[in-house]
Amino acid sequence: MHVLYVYPNFTTPRGAWSTRAYDFARRWIEQGHRVTVVTGVYDKSDLRPTGSTWTGVVDGIEVRAINVRLSNRHGLGRRVLTFLLLAAFASWHAVRRSYDVALVSSGPLTLGIAGLAARWLRRRPFVFEVRDLFSDGLEQLGIVTNPAAVTSLRWFEGACYRSATRVVALSETMAERIRRRHGIRGIAVVPNAASTALFDHGAEPPAEIAGRDAAFVFTGTMGRANDCGQLLQAARQLRARGRDDIHIYLVGDGQRRPALEAEALRDGLDHVHFVPLVPKDKLAGWLAAATAMVLTLKPVPVFDTVSPNKLFDAFAAGLPVIQTTQGWIRRVLADHDCGITVDATAPTALSDAMVRLADDRQQRDRMARNARRLASDVYSVDRLSNELLDTLVDALRPRRSTPAP
Range of the domain at 164: 2-193+380-395
pTM of the model: 0.92
Domain assignment present for 294: yes
pLDDT tens-digit readout, 255-273: 999 999 999 999 999 999 9
Cα 264 from Cα 344, distance rounded (Å): 19
Q: Indicate the average pLDDT of the chain.
A: 93
Which pLDDT does position 202 carry in this prediction? 66
Residue 209 and residue 77 in one domain? no
> Is the same domain home to 236 and 165?
no
Helices (H), 187-256: 229-240
Of 244, 253, 230, 265, nearest in space to 348 by CA: 230
Residue 60 lies in a domain: yes
Does pLDDT of 12 surpass 70?
yes
| Greatest extent of the chain over all pairs of C-alpha atoms, in Å | 67
More confident residue, 51 or 193: 193
Q: In this structure, is residue 403 part of a structural domain? A: no
Residues 207 and 75 both lie in one domain:
no
User: Is residue 123 classed as helix, strand or coil in its secondary structure?
Assistant: coil
On the question of pLDDT at 401 being above 50, the answer is no
Peptide bond into 107 cis (omega under 30): yes
**What end-to-end distance do the CA atoms of the chain give, in Å?**
27
Q: What is the mean pLDDT of residues 279-305?
A: 93
Whether the CB-CB separation of 168 and 287 falls below 8 Å is answered with no
Q: Are 171 and 216 members of one domain?
A: no
Q: Which of 207, 205, 365, 210 is nearest to 283 (CA)?
A: 205
- 152 and 212 part of one domain: no
187 in the same domain as 213: no
Dist. CA 315–CA 372, nearest whole Å: 5
Residue 402 forms part of a structural domain:
no
- Which candidate, 89, 78, 133, places its Cα nearest to that of 114? 89
Residue 401 within any structural domain of the chain? no
Contacts of 129 (CB under 8 A, 6+ apart): 103, 104, 105, 106, 168, 170, 190, 388
Same domain, 63 and 159: yes
Query: Cα-flanking dihedrals φ and ψ of residue 67, to 5°?
Result: -85, 60
Q: How many domains does the chain have?
A: 2
Burial status of residue 368 (CB atoms within 10 A of its CB: 0-12, 13-18, 19 or more):
buried
pLDDT score, position 47: 86
Does the pLDDT at position 398 exceed 80? no
- Of the candidates 388, 390, 393, the one whose C-alpha atom is nearest the C-alpha of residue 190 is 388
Do 323 and 213 belong together in one domain?
yes
pLDDT at 69: 83
Q: Which amino acid is at 263?
A: E
254/316 same-domain check: yes
pLDDT score at 198: 85
Classify residue 50 by its DSSP letter. Answer: -
Indicate whether 196 pLDDT > 70: yes
Q: Are residues 229 and 184 in the same domain?
A: no
pLDDT tens per residue, range 21-30:
999 999 999 9
Residue 8 in any domain: the answer is yes
CATH code of residue 48? 3.40.50.2000
Residue type, 203: A
Q: Are residues 271 and 373 in the same domain?
A: yes
Give the phi and the psi of residue 219 in degrees, each rounded to 5. Answer: -125, 150
What's the pLDDT tens digit per position in 300-350?
Answer: 999 999 999 999 999 999 999 999 999 999 999 999 999 999 999 998 999
Share of the chain above pLDDT 90, in %: 81
Work out the pLDDT band at 399, boundaries 50, 70, 90: low
Per-residue pLDDT band for 402 (boundaries 50, 70, 90) equals very low
